[in-house]
Structure 1
Amino acid sequence: MQQLQHLAEFGGMTATQWPIHSLEEWTAELKSICGNFNTQRAEHTLVTGNATILDAGGLDLAQVANDLDVIRRDVADIRIDYSENLFLLLQLEGSCGIEQNGRQSIITPGDCILVDSSSPSIFHFGGRFSNHLSVHLPRQLIFADKSARVEVSRRVEAEDPMSAMLRAVVAKLLKTDASDKRAPHLRDLLFSTTRQAFATDSEMDEPLLSDSSGGRLEVVQILIDRYLTDEHLTPQWLADKVGISLRTLQEDFNALGTTATSLIRMRRLHLAHEQLAQMKNTTKATTIAEVAYSAGFNDISYFNRCFRKAFACSPKDILQQ
């Protein structure tokens, strides 16, 4: 009875009988909506379930139902389709074990968790059926608000009031058209609720340093997210913070197929892009230059060139879409 209460708002997203797909077909569908992931099936090549994409008030929401053994996203997958999303997972049926950033969690019906698309992750199902929703949140918009330090890979239990709030807002967004004038406010409410639900207890704690390249990259990416809009955020500052030379930092980033400078620039561009996308739905009088400066750029011409190269359109185009 308690489980049904957790899922009442998503009653139409469960089924007594799910379709059966080939492993290749199901995996291709997952990749088309969530990015590059690898699937593993030990005993046979059929998958029970679906991987579908829905619109939730202007946000992408994926429903991932399967009975696989493992789904994983490695450094090589991130290099193929680097993306700037956080996946807000809401478990509907079964259970799912999640590994990311050295943390292991198991989510059951009603639980919520944040997963970072820019870091390796592993999802364990053990061949048992699992059904969850994955709301694609703009990563940098969630991290940009410094009033709360957001912690990924931490489970929020079904009984936690914040979990109930997240489920309620997502359920409302699913019933709200993207063109509805209430949609921007509901999206902002989801962003705010997510920040509070996954806020760390201690805002000023620095990430633990590591001697390995992979461990250092995790720390560096946390620092980039934390200080993204600060002027002092440079590759040299990052190298000093983790206690290595600039050359070693550059070698670490070679594993990701990028550089520290490129990653900082791209995350700032994504932040500006999301801020502009939100501006077109409000009456707030903010200029493109103000958005660029707030995202950490101090040269508007340079910002415009980088923006057009990254998104194949100008900042003004985003406002006019």
Structure 2
Amino acid sequence: MELLSSLDLLRKDRIRTPFNRWVDDLHDICGSFRPSSMDTSLDIHGEARRINACGMEFSHISNDLDRIHRDWDDVRRDAVEQLFLIVQLEGSCGVEHSGRQSALNVGDCILVDSTKPTTFHFHGKYSNHLSLNVPGQLIYFHDSDKLNVARTLEAANPMAVTLRALVAKILSTSESDAQAPDLRQTMLDATRQAFVSDLESLMSFDSLNDLGSSRLQMVDVLIDQHLTRSYLSAKWLAKRIGVSMRVLQLHFQDMGMTCTTLIRDKRLRFAREKIKQLRFQHDAQTIADVAYSVGFNDLSYFNRCFKDLFACTPTDLLRSTDRSLAN
């Protein structure tokens, strides 16, 4: 924690923020989460703010709330799939995510997926954490990687020490620095390596007693692992998890979507992140190349679906400097 302690991140309990403004800031930075306070008429000790450094985005969240919750309705409301690499800076909090319950203490790290319900418990006690916001597919898109989301790395774990050191380095590095691209890639690689696991362990959480929930989680992992493959389809997924197409459709019906829609939207979100990266690259890759690389065969269909989901065309995104389009 020594490197992070040297930055302007600690003792944010000295800052007082009106409850409604704090909630608005959180929504602007992290998406649809529902904060609950012991008393909403009182100011919150802490703040929710965005930090941009080295071409990466962080959320710096401090508060003394009761809890912050995100359910399936909130997940569907957001059009962004992100992973949050959280480093606990001060205080502690409890985390419920992907069927696991964890306690974060100072220096601990955890990986949280925005596409899954999550609850952070504070019980009115001050907590301060830093979150690196990473587009999910930049971490998931490796055939050999099976991420153990919701795994907690205790402060003394060598990988937690490495992650904190990299975060500190990134926070003190300008995006224009010649080393910034390599540093960003090192951060992504280290995060992936820190939370890699076997698929079997991902599917064996004791708390996943509900068969439907377990199957949906298996489907979610399989989609992320095979996202750009031409064979990925609802039929292929049903066969992989050993159910009929009808059973798979019923599982998704309970979530208010279809398996095909989930695959399409994940591909679109991956494409959006790749298009955003084109603005920092100088190769000859085009939007069409991106569309085909993430699994679309029809460019017109890709453009139409992209605009429907993100309210802008791929070309608009590539040319835009407006954060409302770029985020």
Q: Same fold (TM over 0.5)?
A: yes
Counterpart mapping for 1:87-98 below 5 A: 87-98=84-95
Shift of 1:229: 1.5
Shift of 1:248: 3.3
2:119 pairs with one of 119, 122, 128: 122
Counterpart mapping for 1:104-183 below 5 A: 104-183=101-180
1:48 pairs with one of 35, 45, 50: 45
Unaligned runs of 5+ in 1: none
The amino acid of 1:80's aligned partner reads R
With over 3 angstroms needed to count, the CA separation of the structure-2 counterparts of 1:133 and 1:179, relative to structure 1, is: same
Give secondary structure in 2 for the equivalent of 1:13: coil
C-alpha separation in 2, matches of 1:204 and 1:187: 30
C-alpha separation in 2, matches of 1:178 and 1:206: 35
2:292 equivalent to 1:293: yes
C-alpha separation in 1, matches of 2:245 and 2:158: 45
Whether contact under 8 Å (2:143, 2:226) holds in the other structure is no
1:30 pairs with one of 26, 32, 38: 26
| TM-score, normalization by structure 2 | 0.86
C-alpha separation in 1, matches of 2:4 and 2:56: 20
With over 3 angstroms needed to count, the CA separation of the structure-2 counterparts of 1:205 and 1:121, relative to structure 1, is: closer
Query: What is the match of residue 197 of structure 1?
Result: 194
Q: After superposition, give the CA deviation of every residue in 1:204-247 in whole Å (9 maximum; x if it has no partner).
A: 76735865433332222122112211222111222333333323
Deviates more, 1:184-193 or 1:285-294: 285-294
2:80 equivalent to 1:83: yes
Shift of 1:121: 0.7
Shift of 1:131: 0.1
Query: What is the match of residue 323 of structure 2?
Result: none
C-alpha separation in 2, matches of 1:16 and 1:261: 44
Give secondary structure in 2 for the equivalent of 1:109: coil
Query: What is the match of residue 325 of structure 2?
Result: none
Deviates more, 1:149-158 or 1:16-25: 16-25
Shift of 1:105: 1.4
Whether contact under 8 Å (1:79, 1:257) holds in the other structure is no
Whether contact under 8 Å (1:56, 1:170) holds in the other structure is no
Give secondary structure in 2 for the equivalent of 1:91: strand
Deviates more, 1:161-170 or 1:14-23: 14-23
2:213 equivalent to 1:217: no
The amino acid of 2:184's aligned partner reads R
| TM-score, normalization by structure 1 | 0.88
C-alpha separation in 2, matches of 1:195 and 1:35: 23
Query: What is the match of residue 249 of structure 1?
Result: 248
C-alpha separation in 1, matches of 2:192 and 2:141: 10
Give secondary structure in 2 for the equivalent of 1:228: coil
C-alpha separation in 1, matches of 2:40 and 2:313: 48
C-alpha separation in 2, matches of 1:17 and 1:85: 27
C-alpha separation in 2, matches of 1:9 and 1:84: 31
C-alpha separation in 1, matches of 2:178 and 2:278: 13
Query: What is the match of residue 207 of structure 1?
Result: 203
Whether contact under 8 Å (1:39, 1:70) holds in the other structure is yes
2:70 equivalent to 1:70: no
Whether contact under 8 Å (2:85, 2:131) holds in the other structure is yes
Whether contact under 8 Å (2:3, 2:165) holds in the other structure is no
Whether contact under 8 Å (1:184, 1:278) holds in the other structure is no
